[in-house]
Amino acid sequence: MATIEIVKRAATRPTWAEVSLNNFRYNFGVVQRHVGVDVTICAVVKADAYGHGAVECARALEEEGAQWLGVTSLDEAIPLRDAGIQARILLMTGFWRGEEEEIVRLGLTPTVWEPGQVERLQEAALRLGQRHSVHLKVDTGMGRLGVAPEDLPQVSRALKQSSHLVLEGLSTHLASSEVLDAPSVEEQLKGFDAARRMLRNEGLEPLLLHTANTSAVISRRESWKSMVRPGAALYGYYLPFERAGREVSGSKLRLGVKPVLTWKTRILSLRDVRANQALSYGGIYVTKAPARIAVLPVGYADGLNRALSSRGRVIVREHYAPIVGRISMDLTLVDVTGLPGVEVGDEVILLGSLDGLSVDAREHAALANTVLYEILCGISKRVPRKYSS
């Protein structure tokens, strides 16, 4: 027969994320020192700053002197302008038809790659009586967005004919910058340089040239150009580096950035269960001996990846505790058998570190067979963010 303790707490559900803006500012400084003062940083705050909170992170960046912010689209830029953010904002995936005037009014910098985009922006800028800057994206091998090299003359002609547009930047996206010996990266950089020469021959000379994401910032100095677009590094992470399919490491492949987000919850209930007890949905985990099981008020609706079921771990009272059974929508079970003094209400670290113990987004990603970006972006809106400076 199970014995049960249930915590009596306020209505607020005790699952939250702590965001250290001090670490965030520190990471921005690390990246800036790494690339030097002659390279402009476009700090990527798309996807609500990878789940950290775009407005709060953008404010911290402005305080540190950041000149540029990168977002996905207009709907991510509007809250930043509404919050009083004055930095330049790059719309990295372009815009939808009908958004042109709002982009010009808000002083946003759209990425373009088609003549139609250029023409619509020109019309909007002309109506509003403003000259407006754009960045041109060239597809050098990623195969997503960007003008193909054979179509570049057509786009460049549209830009030259646009009296109210200024080609300020030229960009591309590297597909495999974390693979140190990937020949595609060199080919992409050559394609980018060829596109720049083609534009120069047409009388267009963009000042801001950018190809590098976080991995390229760390590993490929030749990709820095005059602007870089770090994302993960600002939040304390980067992808593992590979060579011929094998992970490699080394001091030159580390920036010394600090994770910004710590995800916590509290023990909701403690249960003493017998041996051979099946736990949670489907009974995929069965106790081998009598066990003490902690119930946590967090689940996949909060962003705790279901693939961590019976695989992941948490930190409880300076010890690791394994996740047991299947993670459900709102609840997760962990085995705290033998851990000293565990009580209902104890703080539990889902992502973070304590006294030499650490569970980070890379660990979650490896167990879930995904990337750390998905882990961070997946922490849902119902997990409140608490900010510290």
Instruction: List Cβ neighbours of 174 (8 Å cut-off, separation of 6 or more).
Output: 142, 185, 188, 189, 211, 212, 213, 215, 216, 223
- Out of 3-17, 153-167, 263-277, 311-325, which region has the weakest mean confidence (pLDDT)? 3-17
Tell me: do 25 and 127 sit in the same domain: yes
Q: Give just the sign of the alpha carbon dihedral 187, 191, 194, 196.
A: negative
Domain boundary among 200, 227, 248: 248
Give residue 2's pLDDT.
53
Over residues 184-224, the pLDDT tens digits come to 999 999 999 999 999 999 999 999 999 999 999 999 999 99
- At 323, which CATH number? 2.40.37.10
**Is residue 252 annotated as a catalytic residue, yes or no?**
no
Pairing state between β 208-212 and 165-171? parallel
Per-residue pLDDT tens digits for 34-88: 999 999 999 999 999 999 999 999 999 999 999 999 999 999 999 999 999 999 9
Q: What is the mean pLDDT of residues 142-169?
A: 97
Q: Show which of 248, 269, 289 is a domain's final residue.
A: 248
Q: Are residues 237 and 104 in the same domain?
A: yes
Q: Give the structural domain span for 326.
A: 3-16+260-388
21, containing H or E segment: helix 21-35
Q: For 217, what's the count of Cα atoms within 13 Å in the CB-facing half-sphere?
A: 31
Percent of the chain predicted with pLDDT > 90: 92
Q: Are residues 114 and 45 in the same domain?
A: yes
Please identify which of the residues 26, 235, 281, 381 carries the catalytic annotation. Answer: 281
Scanning the structure block, which residue is given the tokens 């534009």?
Answer: 199
At residue 386, the 3 state secondary structure works out as strand
Q: Tell me what the mean pLDDT of segment 288-313 comes to.
A: 98
338-362: pLDDT as tens digits: 999 999 999 999 999 999 999 999 9
Same domain, 281 and 329: yes
| 272 contacts 209 by C-beta, under 8 angstroms | no
In a domain, 254, yes or no: no
Last residue of a domain, one of 204, 226, 248: 248
> How many helices (H) and strands (E) in the chain?
11, 23
User: Residue 255 domain-assigned?
Assistant: no
Same domain, 236 and 299: no
Determine the Cα–Cα distance for residues 95 and 184; give it in Å rounded to an integer.
28
As a whole number of angstroms, the distance between CA 265 and CA 17 comes to 9
Which residue from 70, 385, 49 is spatially nearest to 236, judged by alpha carbons?
A: 49
Split into its structural domains, the chain has a count of: 2
Q: Establish if 318 belongs to a structural domain.
A: yes
The CA distance from 72 to 353, in Å, is: 31
Tell me, yes or no, whether 376 lies in a domain. Answer: yes
pLDDT tens, position by position, 1-35: 455 544 444 447 899 999 999 999 999 999 999 99
Which entry of 46, 137, 225, 264 is annotated as an active-site residue?
46
* Among the listed residues 213, 104, 82, the one whose alpha carbon sits nearest the alpha carbon of residue 162: 104
Residue 215 in domain = yes
Residues 193, 272 within the same domain: no
Question: Quick check: is 281 catalytic?
Answer: yes
Shared domain check, 168 and 304: no
Residues 227 and 264 both lie in one domain = no
The answer as to whether 91 is a domain residue is yes
